[in-house]
Structure 1
Amino acid sequence: MTRPDTSTSAPNASAISFADIADAALQLQGMVLHTPCLPAPRLSALTGANVWVKYENLQPIGAFKERGAVIKLASLTEAERAAGVTAMSAGNHAQAVAYHAARLGISATIVMPERTPFVKVAATEAHGARVVLSGETLAESAVACAELAAAEGRIIIHPYDDPAIIAGQGTVGIEMLEAVPELDTIVVPIGGGGLIAGIATAARHIKPSIRIIGVEAALYPSAHAALAGREARCGGTTLAEGIAVKAVGKLTLPIIRELVERIILVDEPTLERAVNAHITLQKSMAEGAGAAGLAAMLTEPDHFRGRNVGLVLCGGNIDPRLLASIMVRELARERRIVSLEASFADEPGVLARLTSAIGAAGGNILEVTHNRLALTHLARETAVRLTIETRDDRHTDAVMEGVRATGLTINLTDHVDGRF
């Protein structure tokens, strides 16, 4: 690519400038994938906006983090490269630093929390890095990382609070507006703030009128609280662990304060719905943080309706088992997988009446469980639970009516959990 024009004036609130990001874009040529930014008609229909998705989940390590890692590693002096680098991360930043440090011939040691899943440790080691497990939390791991850097003379590659990192992440904004100049809104997930700070700096320079909207998990509202001048109350298990950061960056916060219009907080069910929409409607893999932009649109649809919106699918590294669980949970929310409970006399043929009625109505039985020992029922009764699959909500109602027409009493439960 050619260097973008830097003549347009726009607000600048930080130590980095658009020129820094434009230079980073030139350095990244051939180093990271220039990911597509494509229209998403089914997400447009879902949200009432004109949606485009920037597919950073297609990067070799599955996330945007490669951009900043490359720029920071490339900025090191020969002496610093010889000393090696270290980073603290339990996810995408770890893999990005490990991957590109190996490519550049730089020794890398990654500090990860002791409870980091083995699959993430193995993925980081597979890129040639040494992994040190230290600390119960990311904050404790950060302390261990600083101690290791001091002891071994390594350079710390911060995940977001570094001008080179911010500049690298900002190249996403340049690419989005190159691909879709008509964008009037870009929605960006916020963890420490490196991605949104870079994108906001680039996008607001190229197109000063563009709206930059941030999104955080409601359980970790660090930037939202900081902008309101109050202490963030963070904690809990979130699907968007990639943006579960308790304190926004010192360098990134001033940029967010000046260039970001607002921050939307999203709850866990909406994050699940957004992950499911990406995989089922767009056939694209999104981790919780990667789907946060869509979750913001689902949370406040009136804020986006009719606009040209760019979503940054910032990462796709989600555990397949977790993804499978989310998809089944969404089917349950849509009443396409439901549980039915019935109690009736423990006599031959009664269960057959029940299952035949379900089959005649077009329901597909996934599981049947008997419980003859429940003390809530009479000794000659049995409790039965069936998990069934239907086409949609109306079909579920039709199946229920078909069963009741046989004279059997049956109840629809609110969830599928496999237990009485």
Structure 2
Amino acid sequence: MLSLADVEAARDRIADAVRRTPLLYSFSFSEMTGADVHLKLETFQRTGAFKLRGATNRIATLSEAEREAGVVTASAGNHAQGVALAATRAGVDSKIVMPEHAPISKIEATERYGGEAVLHGADYDEAQARAHEIEREEGRTYVHAFDDETVMAGQGTIGLEVVEDCPEVDTVVVPVGGGGLIAGIATAVKAIDPEIRVVGVQVEGAASLPQSFETGEIHELDAVNTIADGIATRKVGEKPFAVIKERVDEVVTVTDEETAVALTYLLERSKTLVEGAGAVPLAAVLFEAFDYDDGETIVPALCGGNIDTNQLTTVLVRGLVETGRYLKIRTVLRDRPGALDDLVEIISERRANIYAIQHDRTSRDVAMDEADVEIDIETRGHDHIDELLSALREAGYEVEVLA
């Protein structure tokens, strides 16, 4: 099984290629939770995610014949970029199979780093199947995203940095997709201090590990559905799972909505952009997916920041909705002069700010002497929303909340 010596050897191999990323105390999140929260900002890694560590370590161990034949892998995006950059730096040809719906930004980044992107399949597992076909057809070495001890050792170097930079750490919180990251981190921190708690987090729409962890056997999902595309795998790998069973203390889940809130807070409070998978560990802390004590030193590992710009807009709106700072309503007005002014006056009196108004006199859903109105409103929290909706309904408006 993976050992501390493997992780330490990986650190030596990759030292010139990867960054030692910051670990910073967060006053905001410590105040919000009562814990002593330090953020491991792997978002500042080259390629924007932790995957470069494992990919660099794996490619460094290739034989000369393997280097000549090139490598192939499958990835939803971050491992793709890590392998592409690591291979290019080492003078090795790389071919990367990505799901057809992978974010455009990640596809383009993979190609900029020198990899050949091949789009195939609906998700990671289908992309992986095609990558193995290429492995056999072209004689390339397959660089697994997580089910490889050399890759796991590379990811585990994060654990070494966490303990060195925050020796008082009590709990490390790690996102889990295939399991390579948490297996590597758990190996490192538990070898240094067995009392450090390691908590794994998955999103409900891709949560294969809780059942696997409970039964001791790998459980595979039929499909996955989550905004956290970086951890959207149907099951954990066999090699990581062997480590997880022995060295991970607890596995919990969060929702996409909780993840969106954490992502929004990270932008606002820490000025840090993360992808869905990167926000998952903080979401587990903010929404108390596991128990912790006041003053407990917790390190959420923010594993990546490569979020597609289009998805970012959607996630931020969802985060604002969940925190009560965005409201979209629909109502019907009499089609007469001043009707819209009367409605807007009630909203402005409650100090709510209107983003947009859609006023439709031709809608088939209303009578001919009525107008259908949708309004996007900036609000200041759930209590403010309740106050505004009550005022509108007391004034006789039938209000439908759309978001």
Task: Give the 3 Å change call, closer, same or farther, for CA 117–38 of structure 1 in structure 2.
Answer: closer
Query: More deviation in 83-92 or 64-73?
Result: 83-92
In 2: Cα distance, 1:340 partner to 1:143 partner: 45
2:177 corresponding residue in structure 1: 191
2:274 corresponding residue in structure 1: 286
1:17 corresponding residue in structure 2: 3
Query: More deviation in 336-345 or 288-297?
Result: 336-345
Question: Does 2:265 match 1:273?
Answer: no
1:56 corresponding residue in structure 2: 42
Question: In structure 2, the residue corresponding to 1:128 is in which secondary structure?
Answer: coil
2:149 corresponding residue in structure 1: 163
Query: More deviation in 225-234 or 277-286?
Result: 225-234
Query: More deviation in 294-303 or 26-35?
Result: 294-303
* Mapping for residues 245-256 of structure 1, pairs under 5 Å: 245-256=233-244
Question: Does 2:191 match 1:237?
Answer: no
* Post-superposition offset of 1:272: 1.5
In 1: Cα distance, 2:311 partner to 2:257 partner: 14
Q: Is the 8 A contact 1:340 1:410 kept in 2?
A: no
Question: Does 2:116 match 1:130?
Answer: yes
Q: Which runs of 4+ in 1 moved over 6 A?
A: none
Q: TM-score, normalised by structure 1?
A: 0.88
1:121 corresponding residue in structure 2: 107
Question: In structure 2, the residue corresponding to 1:355 is in which secondary structure?
Answer: helix
Structure with greater helix percent: 2
* Post-superposition offset of 1:215: 0.8
Question: Does 2:401 match 1:414?
Answer: yes
Q: TM-score, normalised by structure 2?
A: 0.92
In 1: Cα distance, 2:324 partner to 2:367 partner: 30
* Post-superposition offset of 1:380: 2.9
* Post-superposition offset of 1:345: 3.1
In 1: Cα distance, 2:315 partner to 2:140 partner: 40
What percentage of residue pairs aligned between the two structures are identical? 38
- 1:415 partner amino acid: L
Question: Does 2:160 match 1:174?
Answer: yes
In 2: Cα distance, 1:338 partner to 1:157 partner: 46
1:259 to 228, 234, 247: 247
1:7 corresponding residue in structure 2: none
What is the RMSD computed on CA atoms of the aligned residues?
2.2
Query: More deviation in 395-404 or 224-233?
Result: 395-404
* Unaligned stretches of 5+ residues in structure 1: 1-13
Query: More deviation in 129-138 or 313-322?
Result: 129-138
Q: Is the 8 A contact 2:70 2:94 kept in 1?
A: yes
Question: Which string of whole-angstrom CA distances, capped at 9 and with x for unpartnered residues, describes residues 25-48 of structure 1?
Answer: 122222101001111111122222
* Post-superposition offset of 1:144: 2.2
* Unaligned stretches of 5+ residues in structure 2: none
1:4 corresponding residue in structure 2: none
1:82 corresponding residue in structure 2: 68
In 1: Cα distance, 2:198 partner to 2:390 partner: 49
Q: Is the 8 A contact 1:95 1:123 kept in 2?
A: yes
- 1:245 partner amino acid: T
Question: In structure 2, the residue corresponding to 1:291 is in which secondary structure?
Answer: helix
Q: Is the 8 A contact 1:87 1:145 kept in 2?
A: yes
Task: Give the 3 Å change call, closer, same or farther, for CA 234–37 of structure 1 in structure 2.
Answer: farther
Question: Does 2:356 match 1:370?
Answer: no
Q: Is the 8 A contact 1:357 1:402 kept in 2?
A: yes
Q: Is the 8 A contact 1:219 1:234 kept in 2?
A: no
| Larger Cα-atom Rg | 1
* Mapping for residues 395-410 of structure 1, pairs under 5 Å: 395-397=384-386, 399=388, 408-410=395-397
1:225 corresponding residue in structure 2: 211
**Aligned residues, how many?**
400
- 1:303 partner amino acid: D
